Homo-oligomer: A and B are copies of this chain.
Amino acid sequence: MNTVASAAPYHHGDLRRALLDSATAILTETGRWDFSLREVARRAGVSHAASYRHFTDKEALIAAVALTGYETLNTRMTTAIDEATGAVGTLRAIGQAYIGFGVANPALYRLMFGQALPSIEGLPPAVLAVLTEARAVLRGVILAGARAGAFAIDPEDEQEVSVAVVTAWSLVHGFTLLTIDRVVDREVRPQVIDPLAARVAERLIIGLLPTQGRK
């Protein structure tokens, strides 16, 4: 059994899902990810030790919540890619989807990338897989753009491609976190974030364009 629950378990119905929902609810309501396992159980209407039938650990629960976050992030990115056209447009779309997700789910985003997990190692393999996939998607986009001549990148130079990937990811990741943490512009309103993000992204894109493509 186990894994993605489609069949309903015994007593409660689907306690695993209910616990994940409770945790997510607390997360979005309070904006904090240091909730107690007991509170999650309480919220699910269940005894405090019941969680241990579904998660070995508190960390496992957190990781499961994070996993759902990674999955929806991946989904948003791939759908954004599908709807975009052109290398630059695709890159723009992917960044927009990424930042949009982070800003819309700040607590979840911080849990996904800032949490108690000492390092990427030690994460459940499922989480690692999703992360790796996200990176591969981004790399694919940049590689395609390089092959099409839309970026000033040699598609055969793996290192150069990697640098572009890391640069793009760093920029978007950093911008998202700075925005979430209100470091960027404390008086900024949600309506202002989108144009700001767009202009920030443009800075990167300019750096990627071949010389003849620049204004």
139-190 of chain A: CB within 8 A of chain B: 162-164, 166-167, 169-175, 177-178, 181-186
Decide yes or no: A181 and B116 within 8 Å by CB, A163-B199, A167-B200, A203-B164 being known contacts. no
- A110-B114, A166-B178 given as contacts; is B32 within 8 A of A120 (CB)? no
Whether A182 contacts B119 by the Cβ 8 Å rule is: yes
- A163: which B residues are within 8 A, CB to CB? 196, 199-200, 203
Q: How large is the interface on A (under 10, 10 to 19, 20 to 34, 35 or more residues)?
A: 35 or more
**Given A110-B114, A167-B204, A200-B166, A177:B181 Cβ within 8 A:** no
Question: A182: which of B121, B183, B184 is its contact (CB, 8 Å)?
Answer: B121
Total copies of this chain within the assembly: 2
Set of chain B residues within 8 Å of A175, measured between Cβ atoms: 166-167, 170, 174
A214 in contact (CB, < 8 A): yes
Cβ contact of A203, chosen from B31, B199, B204, cutoff 8 A: B204
Binds B, one of A7-15, A77-85, A205-213: A205-213
| In the bound complex, CA of A177 to CA of B176 (Å) | 12
Q: Is A125 part of the binding interface, using a Cβ–Cβ cutoff of 8 Å?
A: no
Q: A: which residues have CB within 8 A of B?
A: 31-32, 34, 110, 113-114, 116, 118-121, 131, 135, 162-164, 166-167, 169-175, 177-178, 181-186, 196, 199-200, 203-208, 211, 214
